[in-house]
Amino acid sequence: MTHLVETMAYAGATPWHGLGNQLTQKQPIEIWQREAGMAWQILESPVHFKSDAIGHLGAIHSFPEQKVLYRSDTKAPLSVVSQRYHTVQPREVLEFYRDLTEVSGYELETAEYSRAGASSGRWRVPGKALLSRATTR
């Protein structure tokens, strides 16, 4: 679903869709975060709504069981979720790979953020496994 890819970075061969910023192998997680467009945080706000509106005026109410998730950089909304929802930051998704890449010899292959509100990373052991981890809405 390349139409949902907002930003991404990759190492190695150019993806079939040609999207993203190419990196050389063995870049630190901080470089992946910046180049994949994941250098922002997911912020939370209570859900509010307006009732009895007359023009721009109206009574403002809260919906305490829900919260809005939005980007810290663009303020773009990502989703409305329950108060119990645990937010996983884009940085945390990439941190999952730090020990695998720095200690265990794995290589990060792609990192992306999609318009669907998901961030993910993918890593591989040359000639072996392909694994991924994501946060989704």
Reduce the DSSP state of residue 128 to 3 states and report it: coil
Separation CA 128–CA 23 (nearest Å): 21
Return the number of other C-beta atoms located less than 10 Å from residue 73's C-beta: 11
Residue 103 pLDDT level (bands cut at 50, 70, 90): confident
> E strands, 24-106, where?
42-54, 57-71, 77-82
**119-124: strand order across its sheet:** 21-23, 5-11, 107-114, 119-124, 130-135
Q: Which residues pair with 51 in a beta bridge?
A: 59
Instruction: Decide if pLDDT at 43 tops 90.
Output: yes
**Amino acid, res. 43:** L
Give the pLDDT confidence score for residue 109 in this predicted structure. Answer: 86
Contact (CB, 8 A) for 78 and 42: yes
**What is the tens place of the pLDDT at every residue in 1-31?**
555 667 888 888 888 888 889 999 889 999 9
Judge contact between 91 and 33, C-beta under 8 A: yes
Q: Report the C-alpha gap between 8 and 33 in whole angstroms.
A: 9
